[in-house]
A and B are shown apart, each in its own frame.
Chain A
Amino acid sequence: MGVRLHIWGERACFTRPEMKVERVSYDVITPSAARGILEAIHWKPAIRWHVDRIHVLKPIRFQSFRRNEVGAKASASLASGAMKRKDTSGLGIAVDEDRQQRAAMLLVDVAYVIEAHFEMTEKAGPGDTAAKHISMFNRRAASGQCFHRPCLGTREFPAEFALVAEGDPLPSPDASFTERERDLGWMLHDIDFANGSASRFFHARMEDGVIEVPAWNSADLVS
């Protein structure tokens, strides 16, 4: 049983793993980020969301934004020295002495429709029926309820959402969104938490504004 969720927001950053220091967003939302949005609305250990299709509704546009962020990790050798002395002074990092200015290439003015379904997992109890979870999700999404506010990649970019109920037409793409065919290259599909948090990638292609997402166990995915 599938659901369709319309999501949008002013900015988004779906960070490319290869460019995560000075963050550069993917061109579109990743299946992984889309799953996170669905889970923000309704999730239980009994179910697992799978994103089937992503509809892109607005032109892909970027903007740069630089912020002061906190820098390095603590040094293990400093920590062990401090422990031997039994004195923590001088250990660790002063926030304003360890600044990193990092730029981010953000997406601006995004809107998508996520088409997804869920599977029951082995953690499902006797009371967990697909019908129950789908109606819980639909009820919450339709009335704007969420477990926590979903975001578009990072938490400073909150996502607005609305359910596209069964039988309702999909929201139409923006008139200015003319470049609807694009090879998006290799893109993160999701992180396989069961297997040592391995990243799995797929070759994303947008055809007429729609990206078909292969199944999580598809042979098209590479680690």
Chain B
Amino acid sequence: MSDSPAVTHRHEFVLFFDVQDGNPNGDPDAGNLPRIDPETNLGLVSDVALKRKIRNYVALKAEVGDILAQGHEIYMSEGATLNNQHKRAWEAVMPPVDKSEEYKKLPKDQQKSRELTRWMCANFWDIRTFGAVMTTGVNAGQVRGPVQIAFSRSLERILPLEISITRMAATTEADAEAKGGRTMGRKHIVPYGAYRVHGFVSAPLASHDTKGTGFSEADLDLLWDALCNMFEHDRSAARGQMASRKLIVFRHASALGNAQAQALFDRVKVDRVYQGIAHEIGSDAYHNSTDNWPAARSWSDYAVRIERDGLPDGIEILEPC
């Protein structure tokens, strides 16, 4: 753990990211097609998909030595074993017990229970950030993290495409004989999609005496870093080209906040741009005049505007990327 103080300012953030010829988030209900809102045809990316990438980025940073591994362990890591971690916390603060059943109950001693949770928060970056339910088997309590991420939605309708591909090899001998050694597969891509997601940092859940996880200013910087760079280390055949395009952070002067979240989010507007003409997405002009425009195929087809006039007192706008 660093000496950085716990976060005492509320924050809201807006992240724009885009995908080119890839699948940002497959839908297990639809044969791994890109997620789509069936009513609007807008693309969706789940909250947990982004949290997975943030975790992976922080784990990678710790692995390559960019940040101290101590205090930046990732609890929900791919391939890790959840309950080993509970056990470690238990052993660090609890007297040895004989029966495993005793692990299941929350420690009666509040002090010890709190120590256990605090130890987990101090060691695991993602528990400090997103919280965790640590009531599996070995009981280490439940933590709400200060950072909350909503679903991402594409700015305009997306077009999911199914691409058939051929492989010049077969998995089984039977396949090899029947299909002449070749098999076909499918890839689902979005030719282009730009997505917007909203997030929240509730300061009291970081800094409160008993409810706070100790999520610090340094952790917050790491979160912005992760949001800006998480796709750079998430390359795969399925994802195509993904990139964070713009991160806008509203920093409140106080812990409880200085303005309504929706009023701040409304300040971030996106224009659809074509041949120098720009119309705000959702406006009447947009609906009336963009029918014959070609579909957006790059980030330059959009322009993000932040309305800075009349910003409420105590609100500061940061643009980490």
Contacts and interface: CB of A to CB of B under 8 A. Distances in A.
A46 interface: no
B60 interface: no
B148 interface: yes
Nearest to B97: A83
B148 A151 contact: yes
Interface residues of B, number: 53
Q: Is the interface of A mostly helix, strand, loop or mixed?
A: mixed
B99 interface: yes
A151 B150 CA distance: 10
Interface string B266-305: 0000000000000000000000000000000000000000
A70 B76 contact: yes
Residue of A66, A89, A93, A148 with most chain B CB atoms under a 10 A cut-off: A148
Contact of A148 (B198, B202, B259, B262): B202
Contacts of B46: 65, 67, 156
B78 A95 contact: yes
Contacts of A77: 100
A108 B205 CA distance: 27
A108 B151 CA distance: 12
A103 interface: yes
B48 interface: yes
B104 A76 contact: yes
Interface stretch (B136-144, B161-169, B220-228, B234-242): B136-144
A125 to B, nearest CB: 18
B28 A147 contact: no
B110 interface: no
Interface in B118-163: 136-138, 144, 146, 148-151, 153
Q: Is the interface of B mostly helix, strand, loop or mixed?
A: mixed
A11 interface: yes
Contacts of A74: 82-83, 86, 136-138
Contact of B84 (A69, A80, A91): A91
Contacts of A83: 100
A76 B148 contact: no
Contacts of A131: none
Nearest to A144: B260
A156 B28 contact: no
A63 interface: yes
Given A65-B46, A79-B100, A95 B148 contact: no
B136 A66 contact: no
Contact of A140 (B29, B35, B256): B256
Given A65-B46, A156-B151, A73 B136 contact: yes
Interface in A129-156: 140, 143-149, 151, 155-156
B258 interface: yes
Interface string A96-139: 11000101000010000000000000000000000000000000
A60 interface: no
Contacts of B204: 147-148
B137 A68 contact: no
A66 B259 CA distance: 34
B256 A79 contact: no
Contact of B263 (A66, A144, A158): A144
B95 interface: no
B41 interface: no
B210 to A, nearest CB: 12
Nearest to A76: B100
B57 to A, nearest CB: 16
Contact of A95 (B39, B82, B86, B150): B82
Closest 6 CB pairs of A and B: A74-B137, A144-B260, A92-B81, A92-B83, A148-B202, A80-B100
23 contacts: A63-B39, A68-B28, A70-B76, A73-B137, A74-B82, A74-B136, A76-B104, A76-B137, A88-B81, A92-B82, A92-B84, A93-B82, A95-B77, A97-B79, A103-B29, A146-B256, A146-B257, A148-B202, A149-B200, A156-B48, A156-B150, A156-B151, A160-B260
Interface of B: 27-29, 35, 37-39, 44, 46-48, 76-88, 99-101, 103-104, 136-138, 144, 146, 148-151, 153, 198, 200, 202, 204-205, 254, 256-263
Given A79-B83, A88-B81, A143-B259, 17 more contacts: A63-B38, A63-B39, A65-B29, A67-B46, A70-B82, A73-B137, A76-B100, A76-B101, A79-B138, A91-B87, A92-B83, A95-B79, A143-B260, A144-B263, A156-B148, A160-B262, A161-B260
